[in-house]
């Protein structure tokens, strides 16, 4: 049942996309809404602030005042604010419950959610799942990809296909999807969560009682998730290999789906627009979700064949003079780069552009993958010293250092390889505002050279 927001004061933490969406929804439904943002006001904020104030929403920048916090019925947080933040401690002391914008949306609708979480692969899986479900339903991508789900609440939506980060799930104690998908689990966001156990627990919430889904979908190749399946609620499905009675997997160069032991052919790999084992696993997640929602095999196959890979995710965007260029800027950790690197054949001459702001995770597997699949590594950014040291220690010697993205691209083209792959294995904030800008700069400069 929807909450009656009339005359209730709700505090929204953060002038973010999700924060603004929550504020507008609550305001429309008669809540008294206050947005509080810790950072100072910037010129780019002016249009949003003016629009919000015109709606009667109160906004403060540069700190969290007692006036805004006092007497709040509820707080809706933007995903970037960790539990250790001072504002969270203040709200806890005042006994003010904090929820995510995703949880807010969930509590305001009876329509089902397909929730997709994991360290890597979430966005491609979310985009493809929504694309397939759209063949037969009004299904939309939302959450960490697409639009905030609160923006969809008053629209004509039949299924919410929601990418969920661990940050969002940390504040989602009542969120209960119909289908919960966990793509994989590797170390990431440890500083935010405090440790690996907390990171795992945040994601595990949407698979276990009391918020267990009707269907839990897990990666069969991930030992931790295979073991975790014993704790999951609902009907469990695996992807990545043929395991048990309920699964989706690749066999004989085709994707198959099995439920209660009955096998069905879905699509041949030659008809898929995606490359690499990791993308086949993303596809398998989407196939499971579509089959559980009742989409026909014909519609699933047609949707897969018409799918376009989301930007910055092993995105093939240019080809000239025998060189193919891939933008995988979203690979902000070594584990994400690994799956891109392993997508290429051993005999291909691949130049990898990597580096950025280091996350200080182990590089052993990254180094070994480079030795097998990469001819030359071009390093940029703050992490270049550590990456070079580790690569050389693991007997990879063909390393070039460049100062800028542009000079790295120039050198890569000069080498005349089969493939130029940007897959940084690092965050972007030493040189760019985010992975999106990094990928955009890469693509624009490559295209200017062709």
Q: Residue 426's domain is classified under what CATH number?
A: 3.90.190.20
End-to-end CA gap in the chain: 57
CATH number of residue 251's parent domain: 3.40.1190.10
Structural domains in the chain (count): 3
Domain boundary residue, one of 96, 115, 137 = 96
Tell me, yes or no, whether 241 and 269 share the same domain.
Answer: yes
**Does residue 1 sit within a domain?**
no
pLDDT of residue 187: 62
Reading the block at residue 66, the tokens are 């007692």
> pLDDT truncated to tens, each residue of the chain (450 aa)?
578 899 999 999 999 999 999 999 999 999 999 999 999 999 999 999 999 999 999 999 999 999 999 999 999 999 888 888 999 999 999 999 999 999 999 999 999 999 999 988 899 999 999 999 999 999 999 999 999 999 999 999 999 999 999 889 999 999 999 999 999 987 666 667 678 888 899 899 999 999 999 999 999 999 999 999 999 999 999 999 999 999 999 999 999 999 999 999 999 999 998 888 889 999 999 999 999 999 999 999 999 999 988 899 899 999 999 999 999 999 999 988 998 999 998 999 999 999 999 989 899 999 999 999 999 999 999 999 999 999 999 999 999 999 999 999 999 999 999 999 999 999 999 999 999 999 999 999 999 998
pLDDT of residue 199: 87
Tell me, yes or no, whether 239 and 131 share the same domain.
Answer: yes
pLDDT of residue 120: 82
Tell me, yes or no, whether 17 and 89 share the same domain.
Answer: yes
pLDDT of residue 293: 98
**Does residue 231 sit within a domain?**
yes
Tell me, yes or no, whether 236 and 152 share the same domain.
Answer: yes
Domain boundary residue, one of 305, 327, 346 = 305
Query: Which residue is it, tokens 């972007």?
Result: 428
Tell me, yes or no, whether 51 and 143 share the same domain.
Answer: no
**Does residue 338 sit within a domain?**
yes
pLDDT of residue 102: 97
Q: Which residue range is the domain that position 433 belongs to? A: 315-449
Whole-prediction pTM: 0.83
**Does residue 152 sit within a domain?**
yes
Tell me, yes or no, whether 300 and 357 share the same domain.
Answer: no
């Amino acid at each position: 049942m929807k909450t009656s927001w009339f005359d209730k004061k709700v505090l929204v933490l953060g002038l973010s996309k999700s924060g603004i969406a929550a504020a507008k929804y609550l305001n429309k439904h008669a809540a008294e809404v206050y947005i509080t943002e810790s950072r100072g006001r910037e010129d780019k904020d002016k249009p949003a602030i003016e629009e919000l104030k015109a709606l009667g929403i109160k906004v403060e920048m540069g700190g969290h005042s007692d006036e805004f916090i006092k007497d709040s019925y509820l707080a809706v947080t933007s995903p970037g604010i960790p539990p250790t933040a001072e504002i969270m401690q203040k709200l806890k002391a005042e006994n003010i419950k904090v929820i995510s914008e995703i949880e807010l949306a969930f509590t305001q609708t009876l329509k089902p959610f397909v929730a997709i979480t994991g360290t890597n692969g979430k966005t491609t899986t979310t985009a493809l799942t929504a694309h397939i479900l759209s063949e037969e339903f009004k299904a939309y991508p939302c959450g960490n990809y697409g639009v905030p789900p609160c923006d969809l609440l008053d629209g004509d939506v039949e299924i919410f296909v929601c990418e969920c980060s661990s940050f969002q799930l940390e504040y989602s104690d009542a969120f209960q999807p119909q289908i919960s998908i966990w793509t994989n689990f590797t170390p990431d966001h440890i500083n935010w969560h405090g440790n690996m156990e907390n990171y795992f627990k945040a994601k595990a919430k949407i698979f276990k009682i009391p918020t267990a889904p009707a269907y839990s979908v897990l990666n069969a190749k991930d030992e931790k998730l295979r073991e975790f399946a014993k704790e999951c609620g609902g009907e469990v499905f695996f992807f990545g290999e043929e395991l048990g009675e309920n699964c989706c997997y690749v066999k004989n160069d085709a994707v198959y789906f099995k439920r209660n032991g009955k096998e069905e052919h879905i699509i041949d790999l030659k008809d898929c627009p995606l490359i690499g084992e990791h993308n086949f696993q993303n596809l398998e997640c989407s196939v499971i979700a579509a089959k559980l929602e009742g989409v026909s095999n014909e519609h699933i196959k047609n949707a897969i064949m018409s799918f376009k890979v989301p930007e910055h995710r092993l995105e093939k965007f240019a080809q000239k003079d025998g060189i193919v260029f891939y933008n995988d800027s979203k690979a902000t950790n070594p584990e994400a780069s690994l799956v891109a690197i392993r997508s290429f054949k051993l005999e291909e001459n691949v130049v990898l552009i990597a580096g950025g702001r280091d996350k200080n995770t182990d590089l052993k597997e990254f180094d070994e993958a480079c030795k097998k699949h990469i001819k030359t590594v071009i390093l940029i950014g703050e992490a270049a010293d550590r990456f070079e040291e580790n690569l050389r220690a693991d007997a990879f010697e063909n390393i070039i250092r460049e100062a800028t993205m542009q000079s790295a691209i120039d050198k890569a083209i000069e080498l005349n390889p089969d493939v130029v792959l940007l897959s940084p294995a690092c965050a972007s904030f030493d040189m760019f505002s985010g992975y999106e800008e990094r990928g955009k700069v890469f693509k624009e400069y490559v295209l200017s050279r062709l």
